């Protein structure tokens, strides 16, 4: 579970989430289209028009978490994750904490339909649950 989580997070961070920070021209056409599809299909107002506070969380994801995803994958493949337990706990604690305002914004957003809020909560919820399990 953890290896799949960290390995899947690498392309998501590099090609989807980071689009909240950098010009679209830097991304492969398919990555931009995938984000457009997600925003349109799921009504993701956070990625569609990212507020400053959300962009700051994405910046931390790109600068700090992305390098850790590679370390975590290597550690899990080599079965040496026990030696980096402190790093996994720090990661899990950090991400679980950042998910509080994200899920709060999704669930309490008055101008979003209930179905949209529920769909987005289900999309974002694993990024709270898995880090909590890590801790």
Q: What is the mean pLDDT of residues 28-55?
A: 97
Q: How far apart are CA 125 and CA 2, in angstroms?
A: 15
Note the pLDDT of residue 107.
95
- The pTM score is 0.89
Q: What is the pLDDT of residues 46-78, one digit of tens each?
A: 999 999 999 999 999 999 999 999 999 999 999
Q: What are phi and psi of 50, to 5 degrees?
A: -65, 120
Q: What is the pLDDT of residues 83-109, one digit of tens each?
A: 999 999 999 999 999 999 999 999 999
Note the pLDDT of residue 1.
85
List helix spans (H) across 24-84: 29-42, 45-48, 52-60, 66-77
């Amino acid at each position: 579970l953890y290896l799949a989580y960290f390995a899947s997070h690498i392309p998501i961070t590099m090609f989807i989430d980071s689009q909240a920070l950098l010009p679209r021209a830097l991304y492969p056409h398919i990555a931009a289209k995938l984000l457009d599809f997600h925003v349109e299909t799921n009504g993701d107002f956070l990625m569609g028009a990212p507020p400053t506070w959300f962009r700051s969380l994405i910046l931390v994801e790109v600068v700090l978490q992305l390098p850790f995803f590679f370390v975590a994958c290597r550690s899990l493949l080599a079965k040496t994750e026990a030696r980096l337990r402190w790093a996994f706990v720090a990661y899990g604690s950090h991400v679980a904490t950042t998910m509080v305002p994200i899920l709060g914004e999704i669930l309490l957003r008055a101008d979003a339909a209930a179905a949209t809020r529920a769909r987005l909560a289900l999309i974002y919820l694993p990024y709270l649950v898995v880090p909590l399990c890590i801790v």
